[in-house]
Amino acid sequence: TGDDAPPGNGELSRTGWILVSRDGGASWVRSRRPFHISGNGAFRQRSERLAVSPTDPNLVLFGSRREGLWRSSDGGLNWEQVPESEVPAGVQRSEEASPGISFVSFDPEDASVAYAGVSGDSVYRSSNGGQSWTSVGPQLAEEFGAFEGTVVDGLLFVSMNGLDGAAVGSLQRYDPERGRWSDITPESDRTEWSVAVQPTQPDHLIAMDSSGSNGSVWRSTNGGRTWTQPEISTRSPDIGWIDASDIFTWLSVGRVLFDPVDPDQIWFAEGMGVWTARSVFSGDQLELVVTSRGIEESIVSDLLAVGTSSPVSAIADRQGFLHENLDQYPRLPLVDDTFAGGTDVDYSGGDPTVVAWVGAEYQRYWDDKRESRGAISRDGGASFSRFENLSPQQFGGNIAVSAGDADNLVWQPSYYLSAWEYTDKPKSTFVTTDGGINW
């Protein structure tokens, strides 16, 4: 755990820790050595960097972003680095998160066998519990990383993902008995992949690209020789606002795995929580159902509650909500169904039923074709109307509503193209006197 920033031209920060529990999670101790974790940085998805031996809980492997491969023989308290002359540290980037060692995995049926993926280099194999390592290929260019690493029936399945958003990724299977790699990629030009392998039938595969949405999921029952695509639908039986959002257009892939007990069920870790699907090889449909409650961390930028009105929040990634009942999940996103972060809300002191909201499409920070996000409500946040005639510079930031004239609003955007641009090139302050029609 930890959220270290890239070092840039400065020192490498080590504020992250590996946490260890020996009582099922009731209590925890931390490793005696801190690490550079960068848990919210790029390349945080799909890659499992920590692996515990299936037969010896004291044997743990950790693939770091910037400090190479590490091995613990006391359950994660003390660590010894595998020499970088034996396993390199992988691709390093000064100004952004590094992929480094992109996965570590044990063979669940032979705990002496372990694998480590090294971005921009190769896949390494150990046959003695991580004490020594050798490269088993393939040789990777600097723009590729070997992610995931699932071992089923002695075969290693790896997603070779592009690191720059342009390089076309692939799915590869390694047979250690033959020393041979096989390309099992669906016919597609995707840059990133995730693959789940059925534990009892390694020829049964589910693959996703960087999204688990319709058009981004494939199935194979012959080891990847041929693939078909089911129609994807989503359902959220407990959390209303998820069904009312546009989340189904982009289900961010954390990792997809088969259930170890039910061989026809998959579990899917996604940005808003955990989803599951049953009967995954039956019929033309695949329904993903939200199963998590309260896992997603809500980053609240502002919260207002006025008189007897329901509280209104501005929340990163999901706009915010009208909280009609604090004991239940919100029914709807605040403004509309679009993926956007809420950066501020304000109300008029003279007429608290007037509430203004501003936000930002975070995934389009550097796209000058993005839409500005701002809206006004005249019923305490129950419904909103989008502001009109906005410029691309009206992006995030803060908004204030006059107490004397609820049609008079002042909007101070945040930055536009650079995270530091607002410090040396302040943007204009925008004002409307007609409730957001003209600025």
pLDDT of residue 295 exceeding 80, the answer is no
Residue range 187-197, pLDDT digits in tens:
999 999 999 99
Please give the C-alpha separations between residue 106 and each of 145, 147, 148, 221, in angstroms, as whole numbers. 19, 14, 12, 24
Round to whole Å and give the CA distance between 76 and 360: 40
pLDDT (average), residues 334-340: 93
pLDDT of residue 419: 53
438 pLDDT band, cuts 50/70/90, is very high
pLDDT of residue 416 exceeding 60, the answer is no
* 241: three-class secondary structure by DSSP: helix
Q: Which of 325, 316, 323, 317 is nearest to 381 (CA)?
A: 323
pLDDT of residue 423 exceeding 60, the answer is no
**Beta strands 285-290; 231-235: pairing state:** parallel
pLDDT of residue 415 exceeding 70, the answer is no
The answer to whether 270 and 290 are in contact (CB under 8 A) is no
Residues facing 107 on adjacent strands:
110
pLDDT (average), residues 34-55: 92
pLDDT of residue 427 exceeding 70, the answer is no
- What letter does residue 23 receive in the DSSP assignment? S
80 pLDDT band, cuts 50/70/90, is very high
47 pLDDT band, cuts 50/70/90, is confident
- Mean pLDDT of the chain, nearest integer: 92
For the ranges 69-73, 166-170, 369-373, the lowest mean pLDDT is seen at 369-373
Q: In what order do the strands lie in the sheet with 110-118?
A: 101-107, 110-118, 122-126, 134-137
420 pLDDT band, cuts 50/70/90, is low
Tell me how far the alpha carbon of residue 27 is from its chain's centroid.
Answer: 27
Q: Which of 339, 65, 28, 361 is nearest to 211 (CA)?
A: 339
pTM: 0.90
pLDDT (average), residues 181-202: 94
Q: What six digits make up the tokens of 40?
A: 């919210």
Residues facing 60 on adjacent strands:
52, 72
Round to whole Å and give the CA distance between 367 and 143: 23
Residues facing 314 on adjacent strands:
302
Round to whole Å and give the CA distance between 176 and 203: 17
pLDDT of residue 84: 97
294 pLDDT band, cuts 50/70/90, is confident
pLDDT of residue 174 exceeding 70, the answer is yes
User: Containing H/E element for 173?
Assistant: strand 170-175
Q: Residue 211: CB partners within 8 Å, gap ≥ 6?
A: 250, 251, 252, 253
Q: Which of 300, 439, 312 is nearest to 379 (CA)?
A: 312
pLDDT of residue 296: 65
Q: What six digits make up the tokens of 85?
A: 């002359």
For the ranges 64-68, 292-296, 322-326, the lowest mean pLDDT is seen at 292-296
pLDDT of residue 264 exceeding 60, the answer is yes
DSSP states along 62-103: EE-SSS-EEEESSSSSS-EEPPTTTS------SSS----EEE
pLDDT of residue 424: 57
Residue range 205-242, pLDDT digits in tens:
999 999 999 999 999 999 999 999 999 999 999 999 99
Round to whole Å and give the CA distance between 314 and 307: 18
Q: Which of 179, 197, 193 is nearest to 146 (CA)?
A: 193
For the ranges 54-68, 341-355, 364-378, the lowest mean pLDDT is seen at 364-378
For the ranges 76-80, 158-162, 426-430, the lowest mean pLDDT is seen at 426-430
Is the Cα dihedral 289, 293, 298, 302 positive or negative?
A: positive
Please give the C-alpha separations between residue 318 and each of 212, 346, 359, 377, in angstroms, as whole numbers. 18, 17, 10, 17
pLDDT of residue 106 exceeding 70, the answer is yes
pLDDT (average), residues 166-172: 93
Residue range 138-157, pLDDT digits in tens:
999 999 999 999 999 999 99
pLDDT of residue 371 exceeding 90, the answer is no
User: Containing H/E element for 399?
Assistant: strand 398-401
Q: How many residues does the chain have?
A: 439
pLDDT of residue 37: 93
pLDDT (average), residues 312-339: 94
